[in-house]
Structures are given as C-alpha cells and as structure tokens.
Amino acid sequence: MRFDGKTAIVTGAGQGIGEAYAKALATEGAAVAVADLNTEQASRVASEIEAKGGAALAVTVDVANAESTIEMAAAVATAFGGIDFLVNNAAIYHGMKIESLLTVDLDYYRHFLDVNLNGALLCTRACFASMSERGGGSIVNQSSTAAWMAGGYYSISKAALNSMTVCLAAELAPRGIRVNGIAPGPTDTEATRLVVPKEYIDPLVASLKIKRLGQPQDLVGTLLFLLGDDSAWMTGHMLPVDGGQIVRL
C-alpha cells in the first residue's frame, strides 16, 4: 500500500492502459479519479475499484478544454482533499484516422494535437497548484515509441509531448513536482487491434526483441516506480517499455 493517503488522477482511464493504471494505483492504496470523456466507461472502472474496497471517483473530462480540466481538478480536490499524482494518459488513438500529413483535414489535425499534446499541459496547469500545496507530487505523461518513428501526426504529438515533459520538469521542480514519461511499445489493447491491421501484427512482433505484444499490465510497474519514492531523484525522463523495440544510445 505504498500510496496510502495519496490521491491520483488518471486521464483516459475508462479502458485499456489507463484502466490498468487506475486499478493498480487503487490496489496500492491511492484514491483514484477515473477521468475520461466517456462517462459510462469511467463510471464502470470506478465502480469496479470500489467493489474491491478501493476509493474512486468517476470524472467526465475533455482534456482539450481548459475549463473542463479545471472542473476535473476541483472535483477531485473537493472529494479527496487534494491531488498528489497526475497521469496524463488520455489521447486520440482508439479509432484514430490514418492519413497523410499532406492531406489530413486541418481541423482534425488541430484537434488531434489539442488532445494528445495540449491536453497534458491543460491537465497539468489545472492540477499543479493543489500538488504544490500538498508538498509536491509526481506527473507521468503517456508517450509512445512512435515519438522516435515516422508515424505522421501521431508521432509528432508524442515527440512534442516528450519535449513538454522535459520543459515541465524544469519548471515544476522548484515546487517539488517531478515530471516523467512512459513510452509504450506495441500493446495489445482494443485500440491497437482497431488501428493496426491484422496482417501487420506478426511482422511487428517479429521486429521486437521480446517476441510478443505488450499487455497493459507490463506498463504498470514503471508507472508505480515513476510516481513513487523509488524514483525520487528522477525528473524529465522518458522510459520506453516496449519489448526492445527502440534502441537509443
């Protein structure tokens, strides 16, 4: 119960990796805000946490909307007394359009970046004051190994998120708030099964050093490490959890 007495917000926690994060944090004793644009899914995850004896709050949030993120932070602080951890996991991936940068609709492109990049900033801006008031905290941004690949606007959003992680780490360190990130490799979720054609899966797995798709649970240990005291002297780092997909010297 390493996070007993702590409060965590996990955005995009209504399914997939975010759901695994939220449930793991609750198992470790944190009160968890399950924040998602899909109210039904957020409520389901929160109910499942509570059914196992955890403390959870379902919060509907649009991370691309500043007012919505402020309302989220206020609701969580009211319910649990403040905010200690923020996991910026929400992103457009499930059902995303795969189009060329040269032809993609510009409104879609701008909205995509508003969610996948600026959403992390808006949530951080909404939460950092409460974290500072409680003596500091930890933020984890969910990136992707796509940040180091030519994967169109998805790659652009994640590469920019890596840079934002470094910049926020520098700005928030004097307040006792650490900012790090996780870059998952190919992970077996409903979203991946929708986005990646079936015929690409076997070659993708063959390209990995560990010959299988990741599972959401494979990412949980890294999240708990980055949020907790074991990483107390780490900030501004991006950790790939990817079966050996990316090589960075």
Catalytic residues, by residue number, are 154
CA dist 85 and 19 (Å) reads: 15
Angle of helix 66-80 relative to helix 119-133, nearest 10 degrees, comes to: 30
Residue-wise burial string across 133-170, b where 16 or more C-beta atoms lie within 10 A, e elsewhere: ebebbbbbbbbbbbbbeebbbbbbbbbbbbebbeebbe
Cβ neighbours for 74, distance < 8 A, ≥ 6 positions apart: none
Phi, psi of 196 (to 5 degrees): -95, 120
Angle of helix 106-113 relative to helix 152-172, nearest 10 degrees, comes to: 30
Name the one residue in this structure whose structure tokens are 């109210």.
Answer: 39
